[in-house]
Chain A
Amino acid sequence: MPSKYMIDTQAAPNRFKVLTRSGIIAWEEGCLKCPVCAKRECIYGVYDNRDLDIMQMVDSIDNQCMNCLRCVQGCPKELIHKSVNPEYEALGDSYWTPEIITTLWSQAETGRIPVSGSGYSGPFSGSGFDSMWTDMSEIVRPTRDGIHGREYISAAIHLGKTPGHLTFTHSGDLDSKPPFLVDIPLPVVLRIPPFGPMGINTIKGWALAAKKLRTFLTLPYEMIDKEMVTFKECLIPSISPAQPYGDDLLEGVRLVEVPWGEKWKEIAQEIREAHPSVLISCRIPLAMGMEEMFLHLLDSGVSIINLEGTSSGRLLDDNSVFIKDAIRSIHLALVERGIRDEVTILVGGGLAMAEHVAKAIICGADGVVIDLPILIALECRMCRRCTKQLPCPVEIDQATSSWVASRTINLLGAWHKQILEIMGAMGIRDVRRLRGEAGRAIFFEDLDRNTFRSLGEVQEGYELE
């Protein structure tokens, strides 16, 4: 077994005050100046440590308040109240919810798994990845000394094509060429997000993170300048037919992305000839009829396919189909043909939480590609002002590369631990064995229908309560 993979996380404080779900309203008028004011009794010392951030016009009490409501309930003149923060509720959109955004922030800040007391607080189920649960085992354990023990759970996957069999010569030597594979210790590849005010430090920071994490950062070929060249081995340049590429820059690169498009075949052929050791990944849109595209690519020898859905986890041309279902059908189609291992499937679009990684793999992907989470890790509020050429409220382009790297590493560190938790509960110790294990998942549509479908009949005159 290779040595245990650990992600070294270190707190990387927010640069801006985070938005909180609710705020404190404390009136001064009518205050009795009680000898022991309810504010002073706050066990978190929120009022005593109060300060106003002039630049951001945020009062620190809202960030520190833990919502115990003791001050609200203690003031004899009832001068203290809390109220919902409309700015918080307006964060993101219906897919990238305020809850997702704020937990990504805190994981990027601390590198820790979100833990809380007092049960689950969310909806019963939802759409897409929210419509499935993962299994657990009452007595099977993945390792003998716990999920973070010496005997470890592996989240490593390889990129590339595994041969169906090996051939040997009569003297017992390997006859076939050994497969060319690239290993990554966690099933996540980073990609430059579709928007965001990225400065050179932002991109460098992400590359640094990819290097430390021993995974890859996919970025447009033209973003690789002199400085970025030093990160070559952990970059996946994406080559578009419109942009010419310099051959020398591909020297030392291990993977190249060629997006599906008019000339992809020629480009792929060219690269293969000039750089036989470079793995080629083809990025194709997740859309209706993609199976055909897929098989076509397989025929022409592509070993990595990156399926890309929308940022809200759906097909590009049909908003009603979720990537989770699309991956399942592709995976099954390949298994039926007996060619599943001829290709690595990476899935991108709408991957927003650690659980999505595990669930995408259960549905049949080998790994995932994430983009917006690494932007949100940098405190992005998903306001999309940058897409309208307006200034970014959290000045992402101003952040230093080391801060960007730490935030990204923290986020992935927290995700890695959470993936281990999910696998540990299932009693699985190798993420490659999670692939396509749909039998170890529970799908809402099936289960709900099977359990409750017979509860639809109500006789005339009967009352519901």
Chain B
Amino acid sequence: MSLNSKPPEVVITPSRFRNPIGKYRLHRTDDCIGCGKCVELCPYGVHVIQAGHVLTKNHYRCVGPECPNPCHEACPVGALALNRNPTFDTMGDLRWTPDLLLSTWYMAENGTVPPRGLEYRIGASDGGFDRLRLVFPPAHRSQSEALNEDVDIGIYLNRRDGSSHHIRIDVPFYGGGMSYGSVSIITMLSRVRAAAAFGTFCCTGEGGYPDELKPYDDHVITQVATGLFGVREETIQRVRIAEFKYAQGAKPGLGGHLLGDKVTPAVAGMREAVAGYPLFSPFPFHSVYSVEDHKKHVDWIKTINPKALITVKVSTPTDVDMVAVGIYYAGAHIIHLDGSYGGTGAAPDIAKKNIAMPIEYAVPRVHRFLKEEGIRDKITVMASGGIRTPHDVAKIIALGADGVCTGTAELVALECIRCHNCESGRGCARGIATTDPELTELIDLEWGTQRIINLLMAWRKELIRILKRLGMKSITELVGRTDCLAHLDYMNK
């Protein structure tokens, strides 16, 4: 019998922009005689017939040289030419290559990974995830007959005690904190509603708990961070999981910062601050100088909401393993490790690049140390900070995490192009990370919710495929299985 509740439906949800961006463009000359051969041949619906004319409507679906039936070769009059789209190459970066952006958009539109033409598994950073590979046994030995329904990718979040909520999520991920103020209310709601559809959670970040989120209380994690913005007993009592944020990967050891422009009256109200003034969240907690102080924090939440699960978000210093053990003994249920290469909010470039270690190193270290302490199966380890693809999810779990927290990938599903300008002026020109009312309207809530659902459905399917290829029935079997991984730099050495 399956433990899973029914996953949400995929509904095809195309780009909200008139011209979706593709990797290729097809140039059609005036020689075209409208014979319709390209329409007929193309497996991806790139060309269409409209009012008797043949038009190239969907450049973005073209898979380029990987096409099995290339229209441009078959056209009787040679009217079609395949070109790379110059705009494509201006997008993204080494971590989020244009291929990854487009494949994430594909997943958000269609709920499956792209068929071909795009590298959807790795980026081009040349280290960590991008040099790690999953190792599959020869095809005939894996249990490919298992039904998809029989593969369980759910995880338990409370592995510690019987007195707090007993929570299982059907997918090995929940949404990491992104505050109201750093992203729009529509973005926030889209994430929370998608989380609710999967029976998982989404964290508020440090910006208070907007009333709009109330209907989804059961799927919200409320964050208590160093600035204590918007933290109230009442909001802590509303939820099933409360998160302490000690540090975050994008700016480890540094506080949060919301520029004055983004502190609109609504944001200020939520944070009990003054509109138009920048908000600094100090680093670190001014009430915590030791593990004992940290325990007082945990006890405080448990007094206010005795059944709540406690998650503690930390960054990845050299002593992250000791930190993890301290967190466990202070009474937390979940430790959330946020590696240095992720994050969505504004951060000094020097911090993003240089401070603390990438998540690929922190997870195996913590996993091993908790095991040696004999407490690995009493705590849930969530990882984040640069998890971009379902392959990254599988890799970090094989390195020792139980699950991951999503962030940037969900913003990319809403058509973030990683221009890195979230903090300038009115905020994101694409309406994602902004508090400007006019820009916020660029996203429709139903559209945003469905795009994220589709993305996560694609991740879910891909994870099930990966587990089947590994001959596993549950994602919990993959935890710490480094034998399912190979690192290209150390092979045959």
Q: A123 CA to B126 CA in the complex, in Å?
A: 6
Chain B residue at smallest Cβ distance from A38: B18
Show the binding face of A for B, using Cβ within 8 Å.
21-22, 25, 43-44, 66-70, 72-76, 78, 81-84, 103, 113-125, 133-141, 146-147, 353-355, 358-359, 418, 421-422, 424-427, 439-440, 442, 447-449, 451-458, 461-465
Q: Which residues on B sit within 8 Å (CB–CB) of A124?
A: 125-128, 130-131, 341, 358
Q: Which residues on A sit within 8 Å (CB–CB) of B250?
A: 119-120
Q: Apart from A73-B21, A123-B126, A465-B121, list 8 A-B contacts with CB within 8 A.
A: A68-B421, A116-B421, A116-B422, A119-B408, A120-B343, A146-B282, A448-B127, A455-B485
Q: A461 CA to B348 CA in the complex, in Å?
A: 46
- B297-354 residues with Cβ-Cβ distance < 8 A to A are 314-315, 317-318, 323, 340-354
Asked, given contacts A146-B255, A458-B486, whether A119 binds B417 with beta carbons under 8 Å apart, the answer is no
Q: A328 CA to B135 CA in the complex, in Å?
A: 38
Q: A82 CA to B88 CA in the complex, in Å?
A: 8
Chain A residue at smallest Cβ distance from B352: A120
Q: A354 CA to B351 CA in the complex, in Å?
A: 11
Q: Are A121 and B361 in contact (CB under 8 A)?
A: no
Cβ of A123 to closest chain B Cβ, rounded Å: 5
- B207-258 residues with Cβ-Cβ distance < 8 A to A are 246-247, 250, 252-255
Q: Are A81 and B486 in contact (CB under 8 A)?
A: no
Chain B residue at smallest Cβ distance from A359: B354
Chain B residue at smallest Cβ distance from A460: B138
Q: Which residues on B sit within 8 Å (CB–CB) of A452?
A: 132, 487, 489-490
The reply on B274 being an interface residue by CB < 8 A is no
Q: Which residues on B sit within 8 Å (CB–CB) of A442?
A: 318, 356-357, 361
Asked, given contacts A122-B95, A451-B360, whether A116 binds B253 with beta carbons under 8 Å apart, the answer is no
Q: A74 CA to B481 CA in the complex, in Å?
A: 47
Asked, given contacts A116-B346, A455-B485, A456-B486, whether A67 binds B133 with beta carbons under 8 Å apart, the answer is no
- B353-383 residues with Cβ-Cβ distance < 8 A to A are 353-358, 360-361, 364-365
Cβ of B112 to closest chain A Cβ, rounded Å: 17
Q: Are A66 and B429 in contact (CB under 8 A)?
A: yes
Chain B residue at smallest Cβ distance from A425: B253
Cβ-closest 6 pairs across A and B:
A124-B127, A425-B253, A117-B422, A121-B93, A136-B253, A68-B429
Q: A353 CA to B351 CA in the complex, in Å?
A: 13
Kindly supply a per-residue 1/0 record for chain B positions 127-143, scoring 1 wherever the CB is within 8 Å of any chain A CB and 0 otherwise: 11011111111110000
Cβ of A264 to closest chain B Cβ, rounded Å: 37
Cβ of B97 to closest chain A Cβ, rounded Å: 10
The reply on B461 being an interface residue by CB < 8 A is no
Q: Which residues on A sit within 8 Å (CB–CB) of B350?
A: 113-114, 353-355, 418, 421-422
The reply on B86 being an interface residue by CB < 8 A is yes
- B166-222 residues with Cβ-Cβ distance < 8 A to A are none
Q: Are B361 and A447 in contact (CB under 8 A)?
A: yes
Q: Are B323 and A458 in contact (CB under 8 A)?
A: no
**Stretch with Cβ within 8 A of A (4 or more), from B6-14, B43-51, B283-291:** B283-291
Q: A418 CA to B280 CA in the complex, in Å?
A: 17
Q: Are A115 and B253 in contact (CB under 8 A)?
A: no
Q: A348 CA to B130 CA in the complex, in Å?
A: 33
Q: Are A135 and B318 in contact (CB under 8 A)?
A: yes
Query: Which residue from A83, A136, A137 sits with its C-beta under 8 Å from B90?
Result: A83
Q: Are A456 and B493 in contact (CB under 8 A)?
A: yes
Q: A343 CA to B359 CA in the complex, in Å?
A: 39
Q: Are B417 and A68 in contact (CB under 8 A)?
A: yes
Asked, given contacts A43-B439, A122-B93, A462-B137, whether A25 binds B486 with beta carbons under 8 Å apart, the answer is no
Cβ of B271 to closest chain A Cβ, rounded Å: 18
Q: Are A134 and B355 in contact (CB under 8 A)?
A: yes
Query: Which residue from A114, A125, A440 sits with its C-beta under 8 Å from B127?
Result: A125
Q: Are B90 and A44 in contact (CB under 8 A)?
A: no
Q: A147 CA to B254 CA in the complex, in Å?
A: 9
Chain B residue at smallest Cβ distance from A76: B18
Q: A457 CA to B346 CA in the complex, in Å?
A: 40
Q: Are B344 and A463 in contact (CB under 8 A)?
A: no
Q: Which residues on B sit within 8 Å (CB–CB) of A461?
A: 137-138
Q: Are B290 and A139 in contact (CB under 8 A)?
A: yes
Q: Which residues on A sit within 8 Å (CB–CB) of B150?
A: none
Chain A residue at smallest Cβ distance from B327: A138
Chain A residue at smallest Cβ distance from B424: A66
Q: A146 CA to B136 CA in the complex, in Å?
A: 49
Q: Which residues on A sit within 8 Å (CB–CB) of B314?
A: 138
Q: Which residues on A sit within 8 Å (CB–CB) of B134?
A: 464-465
Q: Which residues on A sit within 8 Å (CB–CB) of B139?
A: 463
Q: Are A74 and B420 in contact (CB under 8 A)?
A: no
Q: A76 CA to B365 CA in the complex, in Å?
A: 52
Chain B residue at smallest Cβ distance from A449: B490
Q: Which residues on B sit within 8 Å (CB–CB) of A427?
A: 253
Q: A121 CA to B351 CA in the complex, in Å?
A: 12
Q: Which residues on A sit within 8 Å (CB–CB) of B345?
A: 117
Q: Which residues on A sit within 8 Å (CB–CB) of B348?
A: 113-115, 418, 421
Query: Which residue from A72, A354, A425 sits with its C-beta under 8 Å from B21?
Result: A72
Chain B residue at smallest Cβ distance from A442: B357
Q: Which residues on B sit within 8 Å (CB–CB) of A44?
A: 425, 429
Q: Are A136 and B315 in contact (CB under 8 A)?
A: yes
Q: A355 CA to B253 CA in the complex, in Å?
A: 15
Q: A215 CA to B455 CA in the complex, in Å?
A: 54
